[in-house]
């Protein structure tokens, strides 16, 4: 496969995303070719990245001073305690702003590492090497960093762009089927909010994508990245347009938080469940027509993606879900804002809804 280069140009930053195979073995060379200079480098590595690959990455840095910090990626560890641990390594090894931090892992490793890079001496050079489908199609692009607290998901964070994103599709060979599905959730979201033609492509080729078949997986990663690029470039700080990327996410984040970020429901699975809730809410509120609603629902059900809220929650959980929804950072008060769908490819920012209104909606879903 030829290496694909996508350029992200925001108001404050310009950087490239390289998408290809066999790229990580050349990381050091790619940094050099892109004029990224450093004296030393900390690799924050997801502990599930296969050793064989890590050894080759280490080799690519011969003659360079590198340190490795292993990270046990899960939502419970996406917290201040782990940020402090990484900061301690950087301080002990006397890193300067001219050095470099490279995240090699999924969205959790990337979000935590980018947050650390953004606060260490007010900004350390950051490179993202995403190793899951979700991080390759979504979280590695756009500069959002963040950690969780007991008050909710990603409530502490910053906007901090990487200097470079290196997306090596070969990493996907070792991720679990469950994590492929999680990434597919964000790919599906991108198609629904921006591109009906891409949605039709997914309808036709979803099984091949989920089985990571070439060239279908490459095409879906590339198309997804292009959609994310469009939103990020137009609205870097998420003041308006970019909020559309949160389609399904106000529901998703509150589902994850209500389950205490347990691995019963991973982020990507919560997103698919959130999309199911958002399309149903859109349809019941006379926004989304029945043909598009049924098409999306059929797509989700045929692929056996998470869609049944009652498999995770009971009526007893509604007040907890609503409380997290109103604390979501997209909301200004007790009223809840949602991104909804008018038709496939056409999202809408909703009017605000009260908790009482949403309570009725959840009651209905969980009873039927």
Binding positions for ligand NAD, rule: CB under 6 A: 46, 48-49, 73-75, 78, 105-109, 111, 131-132, 134-135, 138-139, 142, 144, 154, 171, 174-175, 179, 182, 267-268
CB of 146 to ligand NAD, least distance (A): 6
CB of 310 to ligand NAD, least distance (A): 24
Q: Which is nearer to ligand NAD, 269 or 292 (CB)?
A: 269
Q: What are phi and psi of 174, to 5 degrees?
A: -105, 5
Residue with tokens 């200097």: 163
Q: What are phi and psi of 249, to 5 degrees?
A: -80, -25
- Three-state SS at 215: coil
The DSSP code for 345 is T
Distance between CA atoms of residues 338 and 168, nearest Å: 34
Q: Taking a C-beta distance cutoff of 8 angstroms, is the pair 167, 143 a contact? A: no
CB of 75 to ligand NAD, least distance (A): 6
Q: Which is nearer to ligand NAD, 12 or 354 (CB)?
A: 12
Distance between CA atoms of residues 306 and 269, nearest Å: 6
Q: Which is nearer to ligand NAD, 12 or 364 (CB)?
A: 12
Q: Which is nearer to ligand NAD, 129 or 288 (CB)?
A: 129
All residues at 6 or more sequence positions from 274 whose CB lies less than 8 Å from its CB, including other chains: 248, 249, 250, 251, 252, 253, 255
Q: Which is nearer to ligand NAD, 8 or 182 (CB)?
A: 182
Q: Which is nearer to ligand NAD, 172 or 321 (CB)?
A: 172
CB of 102 to ligand NAD, least distance (A): 14
Q: Which is nearer to ligand NAD, 83 or 134 (CB)?
A: 134
Q: What are phi and psi of 100, to 5 degrees?
A: -145, 140
Give the other-Cβ count within 10 Å of 80's Cβ.
Answer: 14
Q: Which residue is nearest to ligand NAD (CB)?
A: 107
Burial 144-156 (b: 16+ CB within 10 A, else e): bbbbbeeebbbbb
Intra-chain end-to-end CA distance of the chain, in Å: 48
Q: Which is nearer to ligand NAD, 134 or 322 (CB)?
A: 134
DSSP letters, 290-341, are HHHHHHHHHHHHHTT-S--GGGT--GGGHHHHHHHHHHSTT-SSSSB--EEE
CB of 175 to ligand NAD, least distance (A): 5
CB of 5 to ligand NAD, least distance (A): 20
CB of 292 to ligand NAD, least distance (A): 24
CB of 126 to ligand NAD, least distance (A): 12
């Amino acid at each position: 496969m030829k290496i694909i280069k996508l350029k992200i140009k925001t108001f404050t930053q310009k950087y490239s995303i390289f998408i290809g195979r066999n790229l990580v073995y050349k990381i050091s060379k790619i940094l050099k070719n892109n004029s990224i200079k450093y004296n030393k480098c900390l690799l924050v590595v997801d502990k599930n990245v296969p050793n064989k690959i890590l050894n080759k990455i280490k080799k690519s840095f011969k003659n360079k001073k590198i340190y490795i910090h292993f990270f046990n990626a899960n939502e419970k560890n996406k917290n201040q305690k782990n940020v402090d641990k990484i900061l301690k390594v950087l301080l002990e090894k006397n890193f300067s702003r001219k050095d470099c931090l490279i995240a090699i892992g999924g969205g959790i490793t990337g979000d935590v590492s980018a947050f650390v890079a953004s606060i260490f001496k007010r900004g350390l050079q950051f490179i993202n090497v995403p190793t899951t489908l979700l991080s390759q199609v979504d979280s590695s692009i756009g500069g959002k960093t963040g950690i969780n607290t007991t008050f909710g998901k990603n409530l502490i964070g910053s906007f901090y762009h990487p200097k470079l994103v290196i997306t090596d599709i070969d990493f996907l060979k070792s991720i679990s089927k469950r994590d492929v599905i999680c990434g597919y959730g964000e790919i599906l979201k991108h198609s629904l909010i921006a591109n009906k033609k891409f949605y039709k492509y997914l309808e036709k080729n979803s099984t091949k994508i989920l089985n990571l078949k070439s060239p279908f997986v490459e095409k879906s990663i590339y198309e997804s990245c292009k959609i994310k690029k469009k939103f990020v470039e137009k609205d870097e700080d998420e003041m308006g347009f970019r909020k559309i990327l949160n389609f399904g996410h106000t529901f998703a984040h509150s589902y994850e938080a209500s389950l205490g970020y347990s691995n019963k429901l991973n982020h990507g699975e919560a997103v698919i469940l959130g999309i199911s809730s958002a399309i149903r809410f859109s349809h019941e509120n006379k926004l989304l027509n029945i043909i598009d609603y049924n098409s999306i629902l059929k797509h989700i059900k045929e692929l056996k993606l998470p869609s049944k809220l009652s498999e995770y929650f009971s009526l007893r959980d509604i007040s907890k879900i609503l409380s997290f929804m109103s604390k979501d950072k997209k909301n200004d008060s007790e009223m809840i804002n949602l991104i909804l769908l008018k038709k496939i490819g056409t999202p809408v920012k909703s009017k605000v809804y009260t908790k009482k209104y949403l309570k009725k909606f959840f009651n209905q879903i969980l009873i039927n």
